[in-house]
Structure 1
Amino acid sequence: MKTIYSFGISLITLALFSCNAQQSGNNTQKQDSTATVATDTTHAAPMVGGDQDEHGCKSSAGYSWSVIRQECVRPFELETKFKDLNNSTLAGYALFSKDNKQVEIFAAEFKPTIVLSSTGTEIYGSTDQKYKMEKDAQKHWVISKTEDGKTAPILQQE
């Protein structure tokens, strides 16, 4: 009986030490894989805001260069917002000059932005006469494009 009792205690002790050694091996493996991940992330993609265009604007933070203001702006923070009539997932934005003689349009259609100049009361046009912005019957701004002799609205104020 004493032999069985001693043998049982030896087995339990052996089992405990085996589990402890296995857990410590797993911790080492976890630490090694964590170190590898940490090393890999230092060579990952640049941080948000880590890019700049030729004017110093950080496009990943939503900034674009404004010709009218001569500074970086976030178009989506501007008051005048347009819906793109050709693609419902896109939007456009307008920035008026202080004297309202010019308006800069930020939209997928215009890369870089386009500046329209006042040609009359609440009418703006591009120098090549391809684009025109004016108010519709509901007093919403509409930007139209003339191509091949046909004029069609491309952006409409929301």
Structure 2
Amino acid sequence: MNRLAIVVIGLMLCSACGERAGNSEQKGKQDAVNVGADKDEHGCIGSAGYTWSKLKNDCIQIFDAGFRLNPVAIEKDKEVISAFVLMSNDQSKIELFLPDDDQHSILLNKTGDLIYGNDTYRYDAKKSVLYVKDQVAYKGNVE
């Protein structure tokens, strides 16, 4: 008799666990549907790290496609938010992706030997330095 009671209780416990697992699996499927629902006007999925590039005319992951520039002035106990530079294949233009900028990105034309700029921004690709209003703001790790 004790054996039968143990088997019945064991089966009840297993079926209860199986039901919870099924509910969890169903919830996981619902969550999977919502992932990627944050497409922008170009179809880029921000939650997957994609952003629109005017230069490439495509969705890119800037941290893979671009070159990282870190801020020169780093405040203590603040997170470091990098800028990124993406260069055109023919090296005639660059696209800047800056943190805390109202614009999505900024296109700069070549103005000299690997120098790109406009009235506000100037990027020296040889030194990997981005100047904002003639002040060094970001630097890359060039060895």
Global fold match (TM > 0.5)? yes
Cα separation, 2, equivalents of 1:37 and 1:103: 47
User: Does residue 1:112 correspond to 2:95, yes or no?
Assistant: no
Over the aligned positions, Cα root-mean-square deviation in angstroms equals 2.4
With a CA cutoff of 8 Å and minimum separation of 6, indicate the structure with the bigger relative contact order. Answer: 2
Would you tell me which structure has more strand in proportion to its own residues? Answer: 1
Provide, for residues 53-77 of structure 1, a one-character-per-residue CA deviation record: whole Å limited to 9, x for no partner: 2112222333221111212222222
Give 1:10's aligned residue.
Answer: none
User: Which of 28, 34, 37 matches 2:21?
Assistant: 34
Provide, for residues 55-111 of structure 1, a one-character-per-residue CA deviation record: whole Å limited to 9, x for no partner: 122223332211112122222223633223345633332222233332101232444
Cα separation, 1, equivalents of 2:62 and 2:5: 63
Cα separation, 2, equivalents of 1:65 and 1:22: 57
Q: For 2:105, give the aligned amino acid.
A: T
Gaps of 5+ in 1: 1-13
Give 2:130's aligned residue.
Answer: 143
Q: For 1:102, give the aligned amino acid.
A: K
SS, match of residue 35 in structure 1: helix
Q: Within 5 Å, which residues of 2 pair with 1:19-30?
A: 19-30=6-17
Q: Within 5 Å, which residues of 2 pair with 1:87-102?
A: 87=74, 89-102=80-93
Cα separation, 1, equivalents of 2:59 and 2:86: 12
* Number of equivalent positions: 135
Q: CA 1:77 to 1:39, structure 2 compared with 1: closer, same or farther past 3 Å? A: closer
Cα separation, 2, equivalents of 1:72 and 1:82: 20
| Higher alpha-carbon Rg | 1
SS, match of residue 129 in structure 2: strand
User: Which of 67, 73, 78 matches 1:80?
Assistant: 67
| TM-score, normalisation: structure 2 | 0.76
Give 2:124's aligned residue.
Answer: 134
